[in-house]
């Protein structure tokens, strides 16, 4: 089940302090076909993060979507999230596994470094993420990942691969064609004039862009 869990549009929430607005936009994203929703909010207090994560957990259950918490394994555990996503500074994969148990998903950011992904796989990650593939307004200083690196990694890694960083409906097809199982999107969704329509556009890339 885990091998196929991370697939399609992987929506990552913005730094939204208004919980009602966050839920409204998240519902539109899920209506548009997002398969995974990651809660990420770098501006919220601990109490607000808990409230928002609990509300999003209920919403994702309503849509049958996977709910991932960014960075915080303890918050993922407290809200019964489906998993946690960790950067290199967010804790050890094995420690997260011990806390969450075997049934939860653990993702690892590997930036533009395939050896990090191999190490994450060995440590028990369920999926890996590479990026930024394109200039990102969320992380303007992010290291740049090349599409050729994604193609090479696809040949070496059997776990799901998530691509992130400045992804739009127009440039995302090349990443799907190169082997990305999922596209993680922030600005391209939440800043769109019609969020549901934008989500549907990203979701459609996986019908159009899979390699034969």
pLDDT band at 1, cuts 50/70/90?
very low
More confident residue, 26 or 138: 26
Tell me: pLDDT of 102 over 80. yes
CB 79 within 8 A of CB 55: no
- Taking 90 as the threshold, does the pLDDT of residue 110 lie above it? yes
Please give the Cα distance from 67 to 52 (Å, whole number). Answer: 12
DSSP letter assigned to residue 84: E
pLDDT in tens, 141-192: 788 999 999 999 999 999 999 999 999 999 999 999 999 999 999 999 999 9
The pLDDT mean for the chain works out to: 93
Q: Are 68 and 81 in contact (CB under 8 A)?
A: yes
pLDDT for 142:
81
Kindly indicate the confidence band of residue 45, based on its pLDDT and cuts at 50, 70 and 90. very high
Taking alpha carbons only, the member of 173, 195, 167, 208 closest to residue 33 is 195
Indicate the pLDDT class of residue 129, thresholds 50, 70 and 90. very high
Interval 51-88: pLDDT, tens: 999 999 999 999 999 999 999 999 999 999 999 999 98
In the prediction, which pLDDT does 2 show?
53
- Which one, of 15, 65, 2, lies nearest residue 36 by Cα? 65
Q: Give the C-alpha separation, 151 to 109, whole Å.
A: 17
Q: How many CB atoms lie within 10 A of CB 182?
A: 26
- Would you say 52 and 19 are in contact if contact means Cβ atoms under 8 Å apart? yes
Place of tokens 């489906």: 82
Closest Cα to residue 155, out of 86, 79, 196, 211?
Answer: 211
Distance CA 40, CA 22 (A): 11
DSSP state of 140: T
Residues tagged active-site: 40, 109, 139
């Amino acid at each position: 089940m885990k091998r196929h869990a991370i697939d399609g549009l992987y929506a990552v929430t913005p730094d939204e302090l208004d919980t009602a607005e966050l839920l409204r936009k998240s519902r539109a994203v899920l209506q548009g076909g997002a398969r995974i929703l990651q809660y990420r909010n770098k501006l919220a207090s601990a109490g607000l993060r808990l409230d928002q994560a609990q509300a999003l957990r209920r919403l994702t259950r309503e849509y049958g979507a996977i709910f991932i918490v960014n960075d915080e394994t303890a918050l993922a555990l407290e809200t019964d999230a489906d998993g946690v996503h960790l950067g290199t500074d967010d804790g050890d994969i094995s420690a997260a596994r011990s806390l969450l148990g075997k049934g939860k998903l653990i993702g690892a950011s590997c930036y533009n470094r395939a050896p990090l992904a191999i190490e994450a796989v060995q440590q028990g990650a369920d999926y890996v993420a590479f990026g930024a593939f394109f200039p990102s307004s969320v992380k303007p200083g992010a290291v740049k990942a090349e599409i050729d690196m994604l193609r090479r990694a696809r040949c070496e890694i059997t776990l799901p691969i998530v691509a992130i960083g400045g992804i739009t409906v127009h440039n995302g097809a090349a990443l799907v064609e190169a082997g990305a199982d999922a596209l993680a999107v922030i600005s391209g969704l939440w800043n769109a004039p019609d969020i549901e329509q934008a989500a549907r556009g990203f979701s459609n890339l996986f019908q159009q862009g899979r390699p034969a």
